[in-house]
């Protein structure tokens, strides 16, 4: 990565899978919580060339889920139908089954749909208000800023909204931020979207069956894949250029073919792709949007180092007026 940081290098071109060439029937299983696999699994499912494809989104860590007896039998039904030609009704299986995470034992699983996101989702922007540190449905009329010192404490800024009615979010969130850096020429931005209970406690959830003390200690060392903490994303500002062919308003995608360092006082637009989500909120519960200079999520794999940010100076977030920084959330209308 240090020697060949751009995607144009042969070493990377050799490793980009063209999933549109996969035309066999596909049964894709994923989750929201796996920091290593989630984004790639959903991207592959979207771009498969298969006319017959299924997506099932679960709420657990993959190994306990895959080897559950009911799930191995369902996989057998898929293979029996397509490899042995058995007329077992597999084709009547819902093309998408998704999960919503409520935390604290309030998950709903295997919700049938014909697409992901399901029908009825509205991508709604929540604009950042640095004066009140809140998320709001209308943008500020006048420009305002908030800043933090990179890699210092706290080295981040957060925004909150509290719901007065039940809310379900299912689909692809994203962030659009207008930012500059004082004292350096680049920024690594780390995003987290967290759920807070009515007492303002940050919620997380184990995705493995064993919740013992040894596992508690293990998760403190960065094994974030064992605990679902919410939505995440990251972007290096100098790699912000969007891929015109792959990027959509809903899901930003980057070309990674150029480095565009920031000039002094330059304000740049960062469209940050976030991990897909299925999350519910009850009245009185809150959503917190965190923008950080630190990799607070931890390592994507136990026992491996997390990302080392390239951050110095002061990060300045611009909102209001022509700088309509916002968090876009997929709200499911019921």
Beta strands in the chain (DSSP E): 26-31, 53-58, 96-100, 108-113, 121-129, 134-136, 144-149, 156-162, 167-171, 174-182, 188-196, 205-206, 227-228, 231-236, 268-273, 277-281, 286-292, 314-319, 326-332
pLDDT at res. 35: 84
Angular region, 174: left φ>0, alpha ψ -120 to 50, beta rest: beta
Read off the pLDDT of residues 248-264 as tens digits, 9 standing for 90 and up: 999 999 999 999 999 99
List, as one string, the DSSP characters of 81-93.
Answer: HHHS---SSGGGS
What is the C-alpha to C-alpha distance for residues 300 and 110, in angstroms, rounded to an integer? 26
| Class of residue 124 by CB neighbours under 10 A (exposed 0-12, middle 13-18, buried 19+) | middle
First-to-last alpha carbon distance for the chain, in angstroms, is 45
pLDDT at res. 176: 98
CB 190 within 8 Å of CB 292:
yes
What is the C-alpha to C-alpha distance for residues 220 and 71, in angstroms, rounded to an integer? 30
Q: What values do phi and psi take at 149, rounded to 5? A: -85, 125
pLDDT at res. 49: 98
Residues in the chain, pLDDT under 50: 220-222
Sign of CA dihedral 174, 179, 184, 190: negative
List, as one string, the DSSP characters of 115-137.
Answer: SSSPTTEEEEEEEEETTTTEEES
pLDDT at res. 221: 47
């Amino acid at each position: 990565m240090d020697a060949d940081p751009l995607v144009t290098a042969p070493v990377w071109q050799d490793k980009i899978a063209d999933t549109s060439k996969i035309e066999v029937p596909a049964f894709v299983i994923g989750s929201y919580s796996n920091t290593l696999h989630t984004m790639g699994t959903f991207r592959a499912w979207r771009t498969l060339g298969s006319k017959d494809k299924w997506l099932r989104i679960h709420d657990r860590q993959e190994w306990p889920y895959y080897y559950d007896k009911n799930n191995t039998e369902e996989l057998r039904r898929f293979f029996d139908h397509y490899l042995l030609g058995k007329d077992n009704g597999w084709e009547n299986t819902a093309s998408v089954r998704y999960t919503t995470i409520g935390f604290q034992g309030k998950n709903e699983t295997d919700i049938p749909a014909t697409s992901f996101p399901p029908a009825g989702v509205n991508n709604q922007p929540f604009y950042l208000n640095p004066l009140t540190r809140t998320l709001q449905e209308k943008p500020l009329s006048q420009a305002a800023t908030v800043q933090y010192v990179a890699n210092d404490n706290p080295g981040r800024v957060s925004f909150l909204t509290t719901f007065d009615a039940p809310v379900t979010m299912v689909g692809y969130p994203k962030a659009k931020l207008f930012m500059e850096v004082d004292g350096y020429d680049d920024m690594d931005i780390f995003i987290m979207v967290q759920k807070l209970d009515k007492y303002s406690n940050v919620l997380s959830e184990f995705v493995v069956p064993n919740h013992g003390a040894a596992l508690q200690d293990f998760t403190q060392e960065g094994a974030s894949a064992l605990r679902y903490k919410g939505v995440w994303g990251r972007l290096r500002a100098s790699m912000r250029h969007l891929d015109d062919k792959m990027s959509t308003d809903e899901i930003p995608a980057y070309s990674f073919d150029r480095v565009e360092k920031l000039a002094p006082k330059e304000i740049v637009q960062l469209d940050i792709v976030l991990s897909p989500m299925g999350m519910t909120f009850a009245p009185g519960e809150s959503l917190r949007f965190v923008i950080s200079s630190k990799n607070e999520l931890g390592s994507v794999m136990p026992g491996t180092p997390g990302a080392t940010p390239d951050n110095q100076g002061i990060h300045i977030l611009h909102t209001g007026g022509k700088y309509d920084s916002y968090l876009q959330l997929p709200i499911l209308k019921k």
